[in-house]
Structure 1
Amino acid sequence: MASSQKIPKQLRQTIEKELDRGEIVKWVEQPIAYFFSGASITAVLFGIPWTSFAVFWMWGALGFQLPNFQQGTQPEYLFALFGVPFVIIGFLMLSTPVWQWQTMRSTVYVITNKRAIMIQGSRTMVIRSFTPEQVKDVYRREKPDGSGDVILGMRRWKDSDGDTRSEEIGFVSLRNVRKVENMLRELAQIDSHNIP
């Protein structure tokens, strides 16, 4: 398997199980695992005042003093508990970089002679395959250092309010994004009906 020595054993085994007979890996790589990206920095910057205010609100609800349970449960103690979900949400926002890094470390991208494959997850895995027809309209976002993203498609859905949401699907945080885009364009030229 090309360039697979740096891929964790569990992901290598998943790739091997996913391959069809006669399918050959031409390229395999994990994304660059960043702690901080635009999305995670935004979450942290929003999470700092959110969490601070939630903690301050709970402290104020307790009368700016630690609870004294020797006097029994006071109504303000129960009132202060309403702030707990907001503190939890704040800590989740503050931990976004860790979750993002973990997601990147459990993701691998593969290009074979038949398709492109995206594998994400460690316990429960999400595996997406893209046939030659599905990679005909790829495009890339390239940074000055040559890294970037190759976008394969867009997923659209309606949220609970009925608003349309969208998410780009592709190979993100690649080291040599132009090389991967060219490989995907070569894959797109293959007639999948004639693939053995």
Structure 2
Amino acid sequence: MVADLAPSERVLWTGSPVRHPVFDSSDRLVVPGAIFGVPFTVFWISTATNAGAPSFFVAFGYVFLAWTVFLLIGRPALRWLELRATVYTVTDQRVVIEAKVFGVARSRSRYLRQLSPPRVAARAGGLGDVRFDEPGFVDMVRANRNRPMPQRPFELRAIDGAERVRDLIMAASR
């Protein structure tokens, strides 16, 4: 699936997530907030409608309802679909993460020399995540003032033999 390999690049490992979790640690605050937000928004819409409030208040309620339902259902579903379609590739020069969801292909890569040392968040049976420490929000703002929004973490999620892959990356980055 890696289409843009340099002629001198050699593939060392390729794999995909073994598990496709619907929820992850970032959902600890989002899901409870959305669970609270749905009934609140329904109350908002019914109160605004019954009180004869301007249509802006009712429309705002429907937009907010759509957003909270997306946070509760759509966001985890998209994550699940993306993980099912993700392919990881480690070459002798970089790490590539590719996914194709709903016909939209996305690819992210980092050169090994630009990555911090990988660390493993292991689970039972050798399954785990290989994570790289990315620069924080303030570092990104200082480095690139045109793009201050933080990106998703660069990690190989839910792979089999995570420690072996980490060791392979460490050896290749020397």
TM-score normalised by the shorter chain: which range applies? Answer: 0.7 to 0.9
> Does residue 178 in structure 1 map to residue 163 in structure 2?
yes
The superposition leaves residues 110-166 of structure 1 with CA deviations (integer Å, 9 ceiling, x where unpaired) of: 0123332122344443333333323452222222343222122404334xxxx9967
Task: Give the partner amino acid of 1:185.
Answer: M
1:51 maps to which of 10, 32, 38? 38
The alpha-carbon distance between structure 1 residues 164 and 117, as it changes in their structure 2 partners (threshold 3 A), is closer
**Are the counterparts in 2 of residues 154 and 166 from structure 1 also a CA contact under 8 Å?**
no
Considering only aligned residues, what root-mean-square deviation do their CA atoms show, in Å? 2.8
State which drifts further: 103-112 or 137-146: 137-146
Q: 1:124 & 1:56 partners in 2: Cα distance?
A: 37
Q: Which residue of 2 aligns with 1:147?
A: 127
Deviation at 1:34, TM superposition (A): 1.2
- Identity over the aligned pairs, expressed in percent? 21
> Does residue 132 in structure 1 map to residue 119 in structure 2?
no
Q: Which has the larger radius of gyration?
A: 1
Deviation at 1:26, TM superposition (A): 2.3
Q: 2:7 & 2:23 partners in 1: Cα distance?
A: 39
Task: Give the partner amino acid of 1:127.
Answer: S
Taking structure 2 as the reference length, the TM-score comes to 0.76
Secondary structure of the corresponding residue to residue 47 of structure 2: helix
The alpha-carbon distance between structure 1 residues 82 and 129, as it changes in their structure 2 partners (threshold 3 A), is closer
- If asked which structure has higher relative contact order (CA below 8 Å, sep 6+), I would say 2
Secondary structure of the corresponding residue to residue 50 of structure 2: coil
Any stretches of 5+ residues in structure 1 without a counterpart? 1-11, 65-74, 190-196
Q: Detail structure 1 runs of 4+ shifted over 3 Å in the superposition.
A: 120-126, 155-158, 163-168
**Are the counterparts in 1 of residues 37 and 68 from structure 2 also a CA contact under 8 Å?**
yes
**Are the counterparts in 2 of residues 47 and 93 from structure 1 also a CA contact under 8 Å?**
yes
Taking structure 1 as the reference length, the TM-score comes to 0.69
How many positions carry a matched residue from both structures? Answer: 162
